[in-house]
Amino acid sequence: MIGASIFMLALVLLLIGFPVAFTFAGIGILFVVLFADPSQLAQIPYRIYANMGENGGGTVLMAIPLFVFMGLILQRTKLAEQLLVSMGRLFGSLRGGLAISTILVGALLAASTGVVGASVVAMGLISMPIMMRYGYNKSLSAGTICAAGTLGQLIPPSIVLIVLGDVLSIPVGDLFRAAIKPGLVLIGCYIAYIVIYCWIKPEAAPVIPMEDSNISRSKAILDALSAVIPPLLLILVVLGSIFFGVATATESSALGCIGAVLLAIIYRKFSLRMLWESAEETIKITAMVFAVIIGASIFAMGFSYTGGEEEIAELLLNIPGDKWGFLIFTMLLVMLLGFFLDYIEISYIVLPLVYVVVETLQINPIWFAILMAMNLQTSFLTPPFGFALFYFKGVAPEGVSTFDIYKGVIPFILIQVAVVLSMLFFPEMYGLSPEAKPLW
Above 80 in pLDDT, residue 318? no
User: Do 95 and 207 meet the contact criterion of CB atoms below 8 Å apart?
Assistant: yes
Which residue would you say has higher pLDDT here, 270 or 296?
270
32 — pLDDT class (breaks 50, 70, 90)? confident
Over residues 375-398, the mean pLDDT reads 79
Give the whole-angstrom CA distance, residue 418 versus residue 421.
5
> What was the pLDDT predicted at 434?
44
Which residue would you say has higher pLDDT here, 223 or 351?
351
Over residues 216-237, the mean pLDDT reads 76
Over residues 335-359, the mean pLDDT reads 79
- Max mean pLDDT among 7-11, 339-343, 399-403 falls in 399-403
Which residue would you say has higher pLDDT here, 439 or 24?
24
Above 50 in pLDDT, residue 410? yes
Above 70 in pLDDT, residue 143? yes
Using a pLDDT cut of 70, give the percent of the chain over it: 89
Above 50 in pLDDT, residue 379? yes
> What was the pLDDT predicted at 433?
60
User: Poorest-confidence range of 46-60, 74-88, 237-251?
Assistant: 46-60
Nearest 5°: the CA angle 422, 424, 426 is 60
User: Do 179 and 377 meet the contact criterion of CB atoms below 8 Å apart?
Assistant: no
Above 50 in pLDDT, residue 438? no
User: 184-214, pLDDT tens digit by residue?
Assistant: 999 999 999 999 998 898 888 887 765 555 5
Q: Distance of CA 116 to CAs 71, 113, 161, 389, Å?
A: 10, 9, 14, 11
Give the whole-angstrom CA distance, residue 172 versus residue 159.
10
Identify the CA nearest to 301 among candidates 42, 15, 61, 12.
42
In order, the DSSP letters of 42-87 are GGHHHHHHHHHSTTTTHHHHTHHHHHHHHHHHHHTTTHHHHHHHHH
User: Do 190 and 99 meet the contact criterion of CB atoms below 8 Å apart?
Assistant: no
3 — pLDDT class (breaks 50, 70, 90)? low
Q: Distance of CA 293 to CAs 46, 55, 372, 409, Å?
A: 14, 16, 18, 30
